[in-house]
């Protein structure tokens, strides 16, 4: 059967105590809802319908992708009412998979198993076994072990509350059957809402098979209703991603202190020290070593390179055998060839640096092309911005830039040129020559340092 996914994401999330809609709360640097959408897309559905309500405009604006169909639930009257808003846009012959925007860790493999148990005359629901099921709806089975209904925690009696198998709310069912069940829902319950879970009992009464798929891990069905639960889900996500990397051969000094917030591809024998954050698309070559406190975002680092402590690399491509940091910053557009050294408190932006070149201390390199085997001395600044426009600096192979040099762009330094320390270079420096620009040093004997007046 063709598949339509419905994601229920209309809740306000009052317990978050936040102006940000609940489904936009961040998990691993992305909104909760984004994780659910990604899981849904792996199933290749015909359509993904997102039922939204609180903060509707902000939620829609966060996900401008054209494959999403937005359905407004203007008044939140329960999960059954929410699904009913989406059904008019789903054909009768479709299978409907219901997901939740605040259940972000659900695994695509689990969803595939859930769908496989549903069919034209079968509803499947996802359950989980929890040691403490308080707050969750319970899966009630008969003596033969067949699912007969779901009872919400607030409506359960003492015996039902002792059941440890809980309903996650995720289910798959034929659209044509769901229409009838939803139309018959009543709100005579503790919350005066239309419960989607009441469709389970209706399916049983109609003779429709109800199959329960038990989640392999309770972690993936954790819901998020407050900041404490958000932190718990963040920790679970962190453990999962760190485990994936370690199983792929990455050495992680402390898995609890590595955050993976994007797509990471690693070669062999990669090492990540503590408090490393990986965001966006990150590719690490063989034997790359990332020191403590580093943040890598949308970057590629070649084999045998080392990023030392507390460095930030964003939107950059780094060659093999490079050394970066400590306390270095590489901004978007930076491209380093092999064997480049970028040292402590050096910032590089939108620049190409050639093989074997180095800028080891306290320098800014912006909008610059540097050739091979160039030495950039401490305190060098490429003065690339005139207040309106950015200008480019070019430095040829084997050039030596003395400490404290100001290169006022646009300017070029020729191959094998030497710039004397403390120079301000405003004109092109010829190849193979020493260029020095300094004011004459003077000593003024009659000068006295100002002193504060004593009270």
Render each residue's pLDDT in the chain as its tens digit; 455 residues: 899 999 999 988 899 999 999 999 999 999 999 999 999 999 999 999 999 998 999 999 999 999 999 999 988 899 999 999 999 999 999 999 999 999 999 999 999 999 999 999 899 999 999 988 988 889 999 988 889 888 988 889 999 999 999 999 999 999 999 999 999 998 887 788 898 988 988 998 998 999 999 998 999 999 999 999 999 999 999 999 999 999 999 999 999 999 999 999 999 999 999 999 999 999 999 999 999 999 999 999 999 999 999 999 999 999 999 999 999 999 999 999 999 999 999 999 999 999 999 999 999 999 999 999 999 999 999 999 999 999 999 999 999 999 999 999 999 999 999 999 999 999 999 999 999 998 888 999 998 888 888 77
Among residues 52, 81, 94, 361, which one is catalytic?
361
User: What does the H/E/C string look like for the chain?
Assistant: CCEEEEEEECCCCHHHCCCCCHHHCEECCEEHHHHHHHHHHCCCCCEEEEEECCCHHHHHHHCCCCCEEEEECCCCCCHHHHHHHHHHHCCCCCEEEEEECCCCCCCHHHHHHHHHCCECCEEEEEEEECCCCCCCCEEEECCCCCEEEEECHHHCCHHHHCCCEEEEEEEEEEHHHHHHHHHCCCCCCCCCCCCCCHHHHHHHHCCCEEEEEECCCHHHHCCCCCHHHHHHHHHHHHHHHHHHHHHCCCEECCHHHEEEEEEEEECCCCEECCCEEEEEEEEECCCCEECCCCEEEEEEECCCCEECCCCEEECCEECCCCEECCCCEECCCCEECCCCEEEECCEEECCEECCCCEEEECCEEECEEECCCCEECCCCEEECECCCCECCEEECCCCEECCCCEEECCEEECCCCEECCCCEECCCECCCCEECCCCCCCCCCCCCCCCCCCC
Q: Of 206, 108, 124, nearest to 168 (Cα)?
A: 124
Q: What is the largest CA-CA distance in the chain?
A: 106
Query: How is the chain split into domains, by residue range?
Result: 3-221, 227-435
Asked if 230 and 22 count as a contact pair (C-beta separation under 8 A), the reply is no
pTM value?
0.87
Residue 298 to residues 268, 313, 316, 333, 364, Cα–Cα distance (Å): 20, 8, 7, 11, 21
Determine the straight-line distance between the first and last CA of the chain, rounded to whole angstroms: 90
CATH fold of 3-221 reads Spore Coat Polysaccharide Biosynthesis Protein SpsA; Chain A (3.90.550)
Distance CA 320, CA 336 (A): 9
What's the CATH superfamily of 227-435?
Answer: Hexapeptide repeat proteins (2.160.10.10)
Q: Decide if 391 is catalytic.
A: no
Residue 140 to residues 127, 209, 250, 265, Cα–Cα distance (Å): 11, 15, 44, 44
Q: Of 85, 74, 67, nearest to 12 (Cα)?
A: 74
């Amino acid at each position: 059967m063709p598949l339509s996914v419905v994601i229920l994401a209309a809740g306000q999330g009052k317990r978050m105590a936040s102006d940000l809609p609940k489904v936009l709360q961040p998990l691993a640097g992305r909104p909760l809802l984004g994780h659910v959408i990604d899981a849904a897309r792996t199933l290749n559905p015909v359509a993904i319908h997102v039922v939204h309500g609180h903060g509707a405009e902000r939620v829609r604006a966060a996900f401008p992708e054209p494959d999403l169909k937005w359905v407004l639930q203007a008044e939140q009257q329960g999960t059954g009412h929410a699904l009913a808003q989406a059904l008019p846009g789903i054909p009768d012959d479709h299978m409907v998979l219901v997901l939740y925007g605040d259940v972000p860790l659900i695994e695509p493999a689990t969803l595939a198993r859930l769908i496989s148990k549903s069919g034209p005359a079968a509803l499947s629901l996802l359950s989980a076994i929890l040691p403490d099921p308080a707050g969750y709806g319970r899966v009630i089975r008969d003596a033969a072990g067949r699912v007969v209904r779901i009872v919400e925690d607030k409506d359960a009696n003492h015996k039902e509350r002792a059941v440890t198998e809980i309903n996650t709310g995720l289910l798959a069912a034929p659209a044509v059957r769901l229409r009838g069940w939803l139309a018959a829902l009543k709100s005579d319950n503790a919350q005066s809402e239309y419960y989607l879970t009441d469709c389970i009992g209706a399916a049983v009464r109609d003779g429709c098979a109800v199959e329960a798929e038990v989640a392999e891990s309770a972690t993936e069905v954790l819901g998020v209703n407050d900041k404490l639960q958000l932190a718990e889900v963040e920790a679970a996500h962190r453990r999962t991603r760190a485990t994936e990397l370690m199983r792929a051969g990455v050495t992680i000094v402390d898995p609890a202190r590595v955050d993976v917030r994007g797509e990471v591809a690693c070669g062999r024998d990669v090492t990540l020290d503590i408090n490393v954050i990986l965001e966006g698309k990150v590719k690490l070559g063989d034997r790359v070593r990332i020191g403590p406190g580093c943040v890598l975002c949308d970057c590629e680092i070649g084999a045998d390179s080392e990023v030392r402590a507390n460095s930030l690399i964003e939107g950059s491509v780094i060659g093999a055998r490079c050394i970066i940091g400590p306390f270095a910053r590489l901004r978007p557009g930076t491209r380093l060839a092999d064997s480049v050294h970028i040292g402590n408190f050096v910032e590089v932006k939108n620049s190409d640096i050639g093989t074997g070149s180095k800028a080891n201390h306290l320098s800014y390199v912006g909008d610059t092309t540097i050739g091979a085997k160039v030495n950039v001395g401490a305190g060098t600044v490429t003065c690339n911005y005139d207040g309106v426009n950015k200008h480019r600096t070019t430095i040829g192979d084997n050039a030596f830039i003395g400490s404290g040099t100001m290169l006022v762009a646009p300017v070029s330094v020729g191959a094998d040129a030497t710039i004397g320390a403390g120079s301000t270079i405003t004109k092109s420096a010829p190849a193979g020559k020493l260029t020095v620009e300094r004011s004459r040093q003077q000593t003024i004997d009659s000068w006295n340092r100002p002193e504060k007046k004593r009270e």
